[in-house]
Structure 1
């Protein structure tokens, strides 16, 4: 993760077919099946989330012929999204295939951008870095300012293996960037080849990131490659995701809650399978001048990371961390502590966790802290 504030972290023929589906197709929290991860912890039913995203039921199928260049692909797909939003909302349905983009894609209010699964690939093209997103970064997909929006069932490839993403503003916006949004759902999204955070939720409320997959495979190209990063946001759920920041050497934190420009509160991390990168942790509560509170970390598996869950302090921040529950998690094969909380703490509950080859627990004394029923079992 970065140390800076959230604003800085922060022709060819084509065919566009618009059609209304005869059958109502709903996009919601329960629409995706679990990702197949053979080594993952067996998860309970992830249940429901309050962020249901777009409620659109009419489907507009977007189709292109094989001759489209990145410029025309970006233009036609953005036109489809804009038209769907202006009409009051629709599902923009993408087929299987690799679709190369020239510039960032902006998902608008009441739109569901839905692929056919991981084989639907949106990929940054060779000239992608010549075009900026709304805040001067290079997101592949952003929801900047959108309300009631869904991104689902697709692969987002930032092409960090082919492009040199080390530009000014690299961390202004992120690969999949949910920003200034309310009721946003990211579901069944696979990210690859990042040069920024993979999935980020920034200055947003009522959000859900679930059943998605992040991966970092690069080495020696980038730093601060977090997996799922929540900044200055509240009332959200991060659930059932597979986060692997350590197949290459560049990965940083797997999960992050960062409070620099506003508090992060009422966020649940549940049933995620997380391997933090060699430069990071499984989960970091990154504190600035605003508090982090009402955080639940339940039923996750943290493994093969430098450490498990920790507090970190940035930009001179000393704000409080309070009302945090860490329960029913597995921690194994960690180089450092499985939990390391210090600073201005209150009501930190750490119960019913299982550790194996996971270092120690470090929790400073504070009012309301509870530690119980944590066991080592290998």
Structure 2
């Protein structure tokens, strides 16, 4: 175990985890902060992580704040989206717990490839205006067997934020068997609260349960970026969508494209429009409520 005390620790390089290591601060007052030369060198995948697992197994990141200094640095640099602030990449058995991210110029907490991971009791926040695009909060790409549980995601303190929580299949790799539960999520102006973004790879076996999704352009949305492989076997149960921008059909949940085996039950939407689920094999919708006021 590596313990870090309270204080601000300026980083101009990139921290890379080794296998079987636990990195633990004392709480939000342990701050790992990008320094003035942070963008002068890159991580192993050519981006700008505060910390990356880069293939390490059995790692834990806990109880600290990561500050990418996107409010003061110019983060619009080559490779900006090659790696992410907290970058769990191609790793097995990874835990992110009690990690708080601030001032991003990339995705805040990302799981890329790999399997068997969890992010819980953590928070993300995007607060810049007019500096960046594609600032997702928690992003799971081409990965499997993960849990996103009990986090507070707010990508709309400024105008630059994108999706609050995104599950993304990029290229021909799949994203599957992921649980998104008991989170408080506000998606940014450019995205949604929760986004399922398919492509040439499929997205399936996603459990979206008991989340509060609020103040977003829309609550849950599907998208296809580099292909049309189908999204299927999705469970959306017991979520609360409130005060989202779109007040018509699809403001709470919007599947615009063909999907199959989607169960959408017992969700509530207030001041957020309604639900759209196309007819498709195995699709079930029932006991979802909608009201004009919260």
**Could you give the per-residue CA deviations for residues 189-211 of structure 1, whole angstroms, max 9, x where no partner exists?**
00000000000000110000110
- Structure 1 residue corresponding to 2:242, chosen from 332, 336, 341: 332
Report the counterpart of residue 215 of structure 2 in structure 1. Answer: 304
What value does the CA root-mean-square deviation take over the aligned residues?
A: 0.8
Matched pairs, number? 287
Report the counterpart of residue 46 of structure 1 in structure 2. Answer: none
Does the CA-based 8 Å contact 1:260-1:290 persist in structure 2? yes
Report the counterpart of residue 26 of structure 2 in structure 1. Answer: 116
Structure number with larger C-alpha Rg: 1
Does the CA-based 8 Å contact 1:142-1:177 persist in structure 2? yes
- TM superposition shift of 1:343: 2.6
Q: Is residue 2:55 matched to residue 1:145?
A: yes
Unmatched tracts of structure 1, length 5 or more: 1-90
Does the CA-based 8 Å contact 1:318-1:344 persist in structure 2? no
Report the counterpart of residue 34 of structure 1 in structure 2. Answer: none
In structure 1, C-alpha distance between the alignment counterparts of 2:26 and 2:216, rounded to whole Å: 33
In structure 2, C-alpha distance between the alignment counterparts of 1:355 and 1:362, rounded to whole Å: 12
Report the counterpart of residue 174 of structure 2 in structure 1. Answer: 263
The two structures have a TM-score, normalised by structure 2, of 0.96
Report the counterpart of residue 103 of structure 2 in structure 1. Answer: 193
- Structure 1 residue corresponding to 2:258, chosen from 321, 326, 344: 344
Does the CA-based 8 Å contact 1:318-1:343 persist in structure 2? no
In structure 2, C-alpha distance between the alignment counterparts of 1:286 and 1:324, rounded to whole Å: 13
Does the CA-based 8 Å contact 1:99-1:122 persist in structure 2? yes
- TM superposition shift of 1:364: 1.0
Does the CA-based 8 Å contact 1:215-1:227 persist in structure 2? yes
The two structures have a TM-score, normalised by structure 1, of 0.75
- TM superposition shift of 1:359: 1.1
In structure 2, C-alpha distance between the alignment counterparts of 1:318 and 1:375, rounded to whole Å: 30
Does the CA-based 8 Å contact 1:307-1:335 persist in structure 2? yes
- Structure 1 residue corresponding to 2:282, chosen from 368, 373, 377: 368
Report the counterpart of residue 38 of structure 1 in structure 2. Answer: none
Unmatched tracts of structure 2, length 5 or more: none
Report the counterpart of residue 51 of structure 1 in structure 2. Answer: none
